[in-house]
Amino acid sequence: MFRARLNHAQRTGMQVADYQSCVHLFPEDGSDMDAFPADAQAFVHRFFPTVARLTAQGFEGGPTIKGQFDAAVVHVPRSKQLARHLVNWACQLAPDGIIYVDGAKTQGIESLMKAVKAITPLMGVVSAAHGRLFWFHATGQFALWDASSLREIENGFKTQAGIFSAEHIDPGSAFLADALEPLSGHIADLGAGWGYLSHHLLSEHPVSSIDLVEADHAAASCARLNCDDTRAQVFWQGIDSWEAQKSYDHVVMNPPFHEGRKGEPDLGKAFIRKAAGILKKKGKLWMVANRHLPYEETLSQLFVDFRAIAGDKRFKVLLASGPRNTRL
Ligand SMILES: C[S@@+](CC[C@H](N)C(=O)[O-])C[C@H]1O[C@@H](n2cnc3c(N)ncnc32)[C@H](O)[C@@H]1O
């Protein structure tokens, strides 16, 4: 979509210089980066699978980046606070350059544009493909939008802007925590977020170890702080690429699903597949899901037995045992 808006802008007379260097903040795809006219393109992203994909495509970048660039492109994420943070960060990375901001209407580009315009004049704007692209001269006036510092929420948990459930404990995860029987042995927490479930297990259950796997670099960093315990190890990884070094007695998870496409359970199914692959023969999977998400068929394919052990109008907690194709 960025490509479509950029093409539209160029067709309608926008002057995009041939930049020597450009940094993209939170690009979805390498093809978006290729579309921009710059000799060298770097990126900032904190979601592990995206970082791995862009790196494999030959782009340089990661969750942080050093250097100064001639231009920066902000690919607007869903979180309003994170989007503002990225605008300020872009201005720091290209302090003498032009900042391009691109996003879909559903991602709040309209209100972000209004907020930017209230602080500094825009040089141009195009509307196309259900979104907008606007640009302006970098300025230090967005310093108040910096959201890199940690925040403390209930029970002293540390979180950061843009991570899952940054403002409060997720009600689905709390529902799962309440439904758990006492767990012991080696545990894996897949999609661990800022570490709520693991913290609960470390404090209330007789566990030997917990491995937390989380794709969002900022969430993984918070999880390290929230689960500061010698039994816990946090992996910044996507579940597809993470290679477990042992087999587990239990897996706990509150798997993600695409919010944009309601009820899209593919991600959750991939999590179930991973859980089945890393559990011991007698290992158990404990998962919470939104009531409407159809995970039962996948569970019945990958586990000998499964049942719902708790539920309400919003959530269900599923317990599956006897993983098929286990390694032990
Ligand atoms: C519904 S949240 C649950 C977070 C946490 N368990 C909690 O209770 O607060 C799902 C988490 O999975 C992470 N995630 C999404 N895709 C992932 C992937 N491919 N590999 C690992 N983690 C992923 C998200 O960043 C998010 O933190």
Range of the domain at 57: 2-145
Residue 10 domain-assigned?
yes
CA dist., res. 159 & res. 50, Å (int): 21
CATH number for the domain spanning 287: value is 3.40.50.150
| CB 164 near ligand 1, within 6 Å | yes
The residue ranking higher by pLDDT, 10 or 78, is 78
Query: Tens digits of per-residue pLDDT, 133-183?
Result: 999 999 999 999 999 999 999 999 999 999 999 999 999 999 999 999 999
Measured in Å, residue 161 CA sits from the centre of ligand 1 at 15
Measured in Å, residue 74 CA sits from the centre of ligand 1 at 23
Please indicate, yes or no, whether residues 160 and 260 belong to a single structural domain of this protein. yes
Domain boundary among 108, 126, 145: 145
Please indicate, yes or no, whether residues 155 and 224 belong to a single structural domain of this protein. yes
Angle between helices 171-179 and 196-204 (to 10 degrees): 30
Please indicate, yes or no, whether residues 262 and 316 belong to a single structural domain of this protein. yes
| Average pLDDT for 207-230 | 98
| 308 close to 317: Cβ distance less than 8 angstroms | yes
Residue 12 domain-assigned?
yes
Q: What pLDDT is stored for residue 130 in this prediction? A: 92
Neighbours of 118 (CB within 10 A): 7
Domain boundary among 145, 178, 199: 145
Residue 280 domain-assigned?
yes
Please indicate, yes or no, whether residues 32 and 125 belong to a single structural domain of this protein. yes
Residue 328 domain-assigned?
no
Q: Tell me, letter by letter, the H, E, C secondary structure of the chain.
A: CHHHHHHHHHHCCCCCCCEEEEEEECCCCHHHHHCCCEEEEEEECCEHHHHHHHHHCCCEEECCCCCCCCEEEEECCCCHHHHHHHHHHHHHHCCCCEEEEEEEHHHCHHHHHHHHHCCCCCCEEEEECCEEEEEEECCHHHHHHCCCCCEECHHHCEECCCCCCCCCCCHHHHHHHHHCCCCCEEEEEECCCCCHHHHHHHHHCCEEEEEEEECEHHHHHHHHHHCCCCCEEEEECCCCCCCCCCCEEEEEECCCCECCCCCECHHHHHHHHHHHHHEEEEEEEEEEEECCCCCHHHHHHHEEEEEEEEECCCEEEEEEEEECCCCC
Please indicate, yes or no, whether residues 85 and 221 belong to a single structural domain of this protein. no
β pairing state of 248-253 and 185-190: parallel
Query: Is pLDDT of 257 > 50?
Result: yes
| Average pLDDT for 195-220 | 98
Q: What pLDDT is stored for residue 261 in this prediction? A: 46
| CB 162 near ligand 1, within 6 Å | no
| Average pLDDT for 47-66 | 95
> 8-22, 101-115, 134-148, 295-309 — which is least confidently predicted?
8-22
Residue 214 domain-assigned?
yes
Domain boundary among 111, 129, 145: 145
Number of domains in the chain: 2
Please indicate, yes or no, whether residues 303 and 278 belong to a single structural domain of this protein. yes
| CB 252 near ligand 1, within 6 Å | no
pLDDT over 90 percentage in the chain: 83
| Phi, psi dihedrals of residue 278, rounded to the nearest 5° | -110, 0
| 137 close to 123: Cβ distance less than 8 angstroms | yes
Q: Which neighbouring-strand residues pair with 195?
A: none
Residue 62 domain-assigned?
yes
| CB 254 near ligand 1, within 6 Å | yes
pLDDT grade, residue 264 (50/70/90)?
low
pLDDT grade, residue 328 (50/70/90)?
very low
Please indicate, yes or no, whether residues 156 and 135 belong to a single structural domain of this protein. no
Please indicate, yes or no, whether residues 248 and 202 belong to a single structural domain of this protein. yes
Burial level of 96, CB count in 10 A (0-12/13-18/19+)? Answer: exposed
Query: Tens digits of per-residue pLDDT, 58-109?
Result: 999 999 999 999 999 999 999 999 999 999 999 999 999 999 999 999 989 9
Mean pLDDT of the chain, nearest integer: 93
* Residue located via tokens 């919010």: 259
Please indicate, yes or no, whether residues 218 and 277 belong to a single structural domain of this protein. yes
Q: What pLDDT is stored for residue 260 in this prediction? A: 47
- Mutate-to-test residue for ligand 1 from 53, 216, 269, highest number of ligand atoms within 8 A of CB: 216
Please indicate, yes or no, whether residues 192 and 132 belong to a single structural domain of this protein. no
Please indicate, yes or no, whether residues 112 and 19 belong to a single structural domain of this protein. yes
Measured in Å, residue 169 CA sits from the centre of ligand 1 at 13
Query: Is pLDDT of 326 > 80?
Result: no
Residue 81 domain-assigned?
yes
The model's pTM is 0.94
Please indicate, yes or no, whether residues 280 and 296 belong to a single structural domain of this protein. yes
